Amino acid sequence: MATLYALQTRLALVDEQSYYEILRVPSGAPSSEIKAAFHEFALDCHPDQYVDAPSFEGQIAGEIFKRGVEAYRVLSKPAARSRYDQGLLHGHLRLVDGTNSVPPPPRMLTLEEVAIRPKAKQLALKADRMISAGRLDDARVALVTAIQEDYDNDDLKERLNALMEAIALEPMSLEVDYGARR
């Protein structure tokens, strides 16, 4: 049975470890070695080992044990292990429901959420709406005005620079009004 400190340390590391690291086996380990490693892992981390310990120790052990079971299920099946190894080459540490799991990217804040002062928030909301409608130049005007209200908001200034780059990348309109030349 591991100490509380050892459990807490192991729990802190488990999200950053591959299945091989969790079970403490080399990546080329045969299935018999993986099975033996899981047995050792279970003796150390199974929640039943912590029945007489304080409940939080059992909870920590349970969380670690869940990840160990996940590791064993993947590494003990040749097809799943092969998919996992391919994903691992691309930095995916987990294989959940048959797919490599990647944490979703953080949600990008809207311009309104980035703005601080009330008037700047109103103008930033207008810019958000203009961007959604594809009216980038109008959004630029609204965002410049919002920055005048939030003059010390570097995040809004960065967003304006990004918007300016997007405008610069837009194809130029070559509409010609031939009716005006008479």
- pLDDT at position 182 is 47
The answer on 97 and 22 residing in a single domain is: yes
Q: Is residue 128 part of a domain?
A: yes
My answer on whether 30 and 84 are in the same domain is: yes
Domain containing 150 equals 111-169
Rounded to two decimals, what is the model's pTM? 0.52
pLDDT confidence of 112, banded at 50, 70, 90?
very high
Q: Please state, rounded to an integer, the average pLDDT across all residues of the chain.
A: 84
Closest CA to 137 of 99, 170, 178: 170
High-pLDDT (> 70) share of the chain, %: 86
Give 95's DSSP letter. E
The whole-angstrom separation of Cα 87 and Cα 91 is 7
Task: Answer yes or no: is 180 within a domain.
Answer: no
For residue range 119-170, what is the model confidence (pLDDT) as tens digits? 999 999 999 999 888 899 999 999 999 999 999 999 999 999 988 988 887 7
HSE of 25, CA atoms in CB hemisphere, 13 A: 23
Residue 11 sits in the same domain as residue 91:
yes
Beta pairing class for 94-96 and 99-101: antiparallel
Give tens-digit pLDDT for 16-37.
889 999 999 999 899 999 999 9
Split into its structural domains, the chain has a count of: 2
Q: How far apart are CA 66 and CA 72, in angstroms?
A: 10
Domain's final residue, options 101, 123, 145: 101
